[in-house]
């Protein structure tokens, strides 16, 4: 496992990354694998009263967790320090671009008749490919999230400097500003779901709230009077997030285009931020082997996320021979567990060690000041 040279390693963060990647994996499987008795794909959004199934049906929320984690991790690692802009971006490119570029080349190879120079340039520069406007099939279907992540990377050093000098209130004001402008876009006829889901205007809340959560935990995470209470709030935080996603689902879920979607990214981010903060503070007894396995899945989560469409689409071609139970949706979940999950982990392990890891080892320190000691935290 290759660890960052700038941020102290916390296995629990990799556990959360693993959860985010797997919930997206199950979400995509539930969308693509169900097949009717006649052999056609089952169309239409799934509606359920079961909250545990609801969070899988709305598994796109895993993307929000990834983005909250991004804001949290970089801010936690900085610990009040500034970062060198060029060094930070260099490390980010070394982390995300090798696999991104490889999958772009794979996509072009798979669709040579669709090659267009302008389209290739748009996709080759991550921050330009916002809104999933350009893809080359299953190999590049999830590039839109990398575009949003990279847009955040471009401004993170400035946001961090603002946070260090002006405090969390300024970031909260930015969250409010983003929310208001999403509402403005909605009132001028924009698709509220698309703005909230596919763009930095919708996702910036999640990064900012992740940053605020990191500061809050730094400030209070070493207080022996408070830490136990933060840890005890982990299960209630998980149940609260489950309830929030269930309410979102019962209100129509992802398919609905409505004004209330303008505030959803903020609510979603606050819920996941609570889960992150409490997860890092709780002591969970369990097997060290299971913890290491979950951490490993988290370490290859970027590969799992970007390549899962390849695996799921291939498995979907043979779903007729993989009918384990009559219910197509239950069958999809079972096939995901028995076939898609191990295949995705195997493919992602290969791409991680062959493509990602060699470049990750080239990363350098980008912190400008001497390191500050980290408060004790449950690992």
Reported as a single tens digit per residue, the pLDDT across 90-102 is 999 999 999 999 9
Looking at the domain assignment, is residue 237 inside a domain?
yes
Mean pLDDT of 193-208: 95
In a domain? residue 379:
no
Does 15 reside within a domain? no
Query: pLDDT digit string (tens) for 362-372?
Result: 999 888 875 45
pLDDT value of position 374: 44
- Of the candidates 173, 273, 215, 168, which has an alpha carbon nearest to the alpha carbon of residue 74? 215
Is residue 22 very low, low, confident or very high in pLDDT (cuts 50, 70, 90)? Answer: very high
Residue 189 has pLDDT above 50, yes or no: yes
Tell me the two tokens of residue 185. 């876009």
Q: Please say whether the beta carbons of 48 and 252 come within 8 A.
A: no
Asked whether the predicted pLDDT for residue 41 surpasses 70, the reply is no
Give the C-alpha separation, 77 to 369, whole Å. 12
Q: Answer yes or no: is 3 within a domain.
A: no
Average pLDDT over residues 7-14: 79
Q: What total number of domains does the chain contain?
A: 1
349 pLDDT tier (thresholds 50, 70, 90) = very high
> 61 is in which domain, residue-wise?
22-360
252 part of a folded domain: yes
Position 2 in a domain: no
What integer pLDDT is reported at residue 38 of this predicted model? 54
| Poorest-pLDDT segment among 116-125, 146-155, 232-241 | 116-125
Cβ–Cβ under 8 Å, residues 262 and 303: no
| Cα–Cα dist 232/73, whole Å | 22
Residues with Cβ within 8 Å of residue 330, at least 6 apart in sequence: none
Whether residue 371 is contained in a domain is answered as no
Confidence band for 355, pLDDT divided at 50, 70 and 90: very high
Rounded mean pLDDT of the chain?
A: 89
28 or 224, higher pLDDT: 28
Is 150 within a domain?
yes
At 314, the pLDDT band (50, 70, 90 cuts) reads: very high
**For residue 376, is pLDDT > 80?**
no
């Amino acid at each position: 496992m290759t660890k960052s040279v700038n941020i102290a390693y916390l296995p629990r963060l990799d556990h959360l990354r693993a959860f985010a990647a797997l919930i997206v994996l199950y979400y995509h499987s539930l969308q693509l694998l169900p097949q009717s008795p006649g052999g056609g794909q089952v169309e239409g959004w799934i509606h359920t009263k079961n909250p545990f199934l609801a969070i899988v049906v709305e598994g796109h929320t895993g993307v929000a967790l990834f983005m909250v984690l991004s804001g949290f991790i970089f801010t936690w690692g900085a610990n009040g320090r500034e970062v060198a802009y060029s060094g930070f971006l260099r490390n980010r490119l070394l982390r995300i671009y090798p696999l991104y570029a490889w999958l772009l080349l794979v996509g072009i190879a798979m669709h040579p008749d669709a090659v267009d120079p302008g389209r290739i340039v748009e996709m080759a520069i991550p921050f330009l490919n916002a809104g999933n406007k350009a893809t080359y099939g299953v190999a590049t279907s999830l590039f839109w999230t990398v575009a949003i992540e990279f847009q955040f990377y471009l401004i993170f050093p400035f946001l961090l400097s603002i946070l260090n000098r002006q405090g969390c209130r300024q970031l909260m004001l930015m969250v409010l500003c983003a929310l208001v402008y999403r509402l403005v876009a909605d009132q001028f006829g924009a698709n509220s779901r698309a703005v909230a889901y596919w763009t930095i205007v919708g996702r910036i809340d999640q990064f900012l709230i992740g940053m605020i959560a990191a500061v809050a935990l730094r400030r209070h995470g070493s207080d022996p009077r408070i830490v136990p209470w933060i840890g005890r709030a982990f299960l209630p935080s998980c149940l609260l997030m489950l309830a929030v996603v269930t309410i979102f689902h019962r209100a129509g879920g992802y398919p609905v285009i409505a004004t209330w979607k303008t505030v959803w990214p903020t609510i979603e981010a606050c819920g996941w931020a609570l889960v992150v903060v409490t997860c890092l503070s709780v002591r969970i007894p369990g097997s060290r082997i299971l913890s290491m396995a979950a951490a490993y899945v988290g370490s290859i989560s970027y590969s799992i996320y970007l390549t899962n469409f390849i695996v799921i689409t291939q498995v979907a071609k043979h779903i007729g021979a993989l009918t384990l139970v009559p219910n197509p949706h239950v069958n999809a979940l079972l096939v995901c567990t028995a076939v898609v999950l191990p295949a995705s982990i195997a493919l992602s392990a290969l791409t991680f060690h062959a493509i990602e890891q060699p470049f990750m080892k080239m990363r350098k320190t980008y912190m400008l000041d001497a390191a500050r000691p980290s408060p004790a935290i449950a690992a």
